[in-house]
Amino acid sequence: MGCAFEAAGYEKDLGRVSVSNRPDLCEYQCNGAMAGAKRYKKAPIMIAGEVAEKLAGSKVFKEVEAVAPGFLNLKLSEEFLFEYVKEMQKAEKYGIELEKKEKIIIDYGGPNVAKALHVGHLRSAVIGESVKRISRYVGHDITGDIHLGDWGQPMGLVMTELRERKPDLPYFDESFEGEYPDEAPFTVADLEEIYPAASAKSKVDEDFKARAMEATFKLQSGVRGYRALWNKIIDVSVSDLKRNYDNLNVHFELWNGESSVHELIPGMIQQMKDGGFAYLSEGALVVDVKEETDTKEVPPCMLLKSDGAAKYDTTDLATILDRTEKYHPDKIIYLTDKRQELYFTQIFRCAKKTGIVDPETKLIHIGFGTMNGKDGKPFKTRDGGVMRLEYLIKEINDEMLKKIKDNAAEKGYDIDENEALETAKTVGMAAIKYGDLSNQPAKDYIFDIDRFTSFEGDTGPYILYTIVRIKSILNKYKEQGGDVAAAQLVCPANDSEKELMKLLAGFNAMMLQAGEELAPNRVCAYIYDLANAFNHFYHETKILSEEDESRKAGLIALLDLTKNIFETCIDVLGFEAPDRM
């Protein structure tokens, strides 16, 4: 299109084409002649007419029409579309090619050890995993790091509470020189109860709080017993976290934590002092990060508190230093609640200003919105407590199980209890993840179990239902002796087939854009359109009863490609489809 503008003597950039908002008139439209009218002081319809003339006989468009006051209405040639999709089907990754492969670190998950995962951790895990998979699919070299919260005040609180409960443990005896026991003196369930108890106590008991701060400092400065006890906390907690993230189909390449970089802190701080960046303010060591153009106040980064303990900021900065030294990444992406936006502005500025990160490295924070209940307030348990992630998953799975059994009864097929349970888990995961990912990350959304688990509408189960439908047709074709892999695409014979093919042809551009914008919601919107287009096609087309064998094979090939594209998409979203449901 750009070339046609150029050939007619206009600038190429005018040739931008978009999907038509009047599908009854045309498939695509180009409004470049309207913009060109101002630039060239010429009536838009004249420009449109000249461009249309240049496109006469084009292989790409079968119809190009200049209409008043100066729009270009376009219809794609079926032959061209068919050839394009055939090539795409053969190419590795459907022909996706990156302009520049980047080295990316993605910091997501961010759970705190000794605390149960709650719904607040869901979004970071779900969005982060998907952003990672999309980036990897389009060809970037991306590594996920969980960045455990394992080094701050919460550790001191847990250890202090443990000491109150079991003062005789050898960890607290500073003269103890022997081997510490192998067995941890607590279970995950104990830890999950101890932390909130300790946290509540520190808010009312100044003395307890002071002891917890001291314990944190002892841990950070390497007191043997505290380190050993801390190791036990990490062991018990991390194996539980692994189990929980596995259940979510979320996998981190790196299980580093705030603690992993503690040895870098003294050197980093020295460097910041030597560079004249860090200075003492009211006993704390800080770096100014405000800029003249700020419209809101951006407070300094605090590196060390007056008691000398490292802060959340300090470990995040040391982690940037560590990642820079080890990987020299092009990008570091962080996923947290958007309430941490100002914090990341401070950290990023401090890192750039003090030179602990390469000047070219892009530091990106994706701040996500809150997951709310139907009342519009942050999602809680029925009695108002913080919702544990495990319970939330269970609620969805229970609802899914009901719907799957109802559906089987309605369709009149038998489903045994085990299969129903497995399917409910698979579909439940899709319900949760799609419900989240179909929103723009920054938006708050309402976690609506009824809607998310519905087989109809813009939901995960609807997408899976569509995939299962395709799988079942392909299976029947095989049962009838057909060979799916050998089936060859044919040129689309009607509008619903053409529509489906057009969507498939848009896969590459969509995926590259999702990667560029770090936007899983693009993939969701795409598969929702694809599901609608497929279901429309399915209702209009006889497939297995088609008598013309080569057309039948062509339709099967189209189904197979549609299924593969769907599966690629749901894989980057982090869920999968069952064989039946």
Indicate the residue whose CB is closest to ligand ARG: 110
* Residue closest to 127 by CA, chosen among 144, 141, 114: 144
144 part of the interface to ligand ARG, by CB under 6 A: no
496 part of the interface to ligand ARG, by CB under 6 A: no
**Residue 444: CB atoms within 10 Å:** 13
SS3 sequence, 451-510?
Answer: HHCCCCCCCHHHHHHHHHHHHHHHHHHHHCCCCCCCCCCCCCCCHHHHHHHHHHHCHHHH
- Smallest distance, ligand ARG to C-beta of residue 111, A: 7
Give yes or no for a contact between 447 and 371, defined as CB atoms under 8 angstroms apart.
yes
Tally of residues, the chain = 581
From 107-115, 158-166, 457-465, 516-524, give the range in contact with ligand ARG by CB under 6 A. Answer: 107-115
240 part of the interface to ligand ARG, by CB under 6 A: no
From 105-113, 190-198, 225-233, 272-280, give the range in contact with ligand ARG by CB under 6 A. Answer: 105-113
DSSP classification of residue 282: T
From 22-30, 106-114, 357-365, 520-528, give the range in contact with ligand ARG by CB under 6 A. Answer: 106-114
Cα 294 vs. chain centroid, distance in angstroms? Answer: 30
- CB nearer to ligand ARG: give 133 or 147: 147
Sign of CA dihedral 413, 415, 421, 422: negative
- CB nearer to ligand ARG: give 129 or 316: 316
For residues 148-177, which are near ligand ARG according to CB under 6 A?
149
Alpha helices in 328-459 (DSSP H): 341-354, 389-411, 417-437, 449-452
Size, binding site for ligand ARG by CB under 6 A = 8
- CB nearer to ligand ARG: give 149 or 300: 149
Which amino acid is located at 123 in the chain? R
324 part of the interface to ligand ARG, by CB under 6 A: no
- Which tokens is 572 given? 């980057």
Q: Which position among 220, 324, 336, 423 is part of the footprint of ligand ARG (CB under 6 A)?
A: 336
| d(C-alpha 107, C-alpha 334), whole Å | 5
Helix 520-540 × helix 460-479 angle, to 10°: 50
- Smallest distance, ligand ARG to C-beta of residue 334, A: 5
From 104-112, 267-275, 290-298, 502-510, give the range in contact with ligand ARG by CB under 6 A. Answer: 104-112
441 part of the interface to ligand ARG, by CB under 6 A: no
Q: Which position among 316, 399, 436, 499 is part of the footprint of ligand ARG (CB under 6 A)?
A: 316
- Which tokens is 109 given? 């998950």
- Smallest distance, ligand ARG to C-beta of residue 141, A: 20
Residue with token string 């959340």:
312
322 part of the interface to ligand ARG, by CB under 6 A: no
110 part of the interface to ligand ARG, by CB under 6 A: yes
- Smallest distance, ligand ARG to C-beta of residue 120, A: 8
Q: Where are the beta strands (DSSP E) in 95-163?
A: 103-107, 141-145
- CB nearer to ligand ARG: give 33 or 310: 310
- CB nearer to ligand ARG: give 152 or 461: 152
Residue with token string 């106040």:
297
> Pairing relation of β-strands 17-19 and 28-30?
antiparallel
Give yes or no for a contact between 155 and 114, defined as CB atoms under 8 angstroms apart.
yes
Strand partners, 334: 107, 365
Residue ranges that bind ligand ARG, judged by CB under 6 A: 107, 110, 112, 147, 149, 316, 334, 336
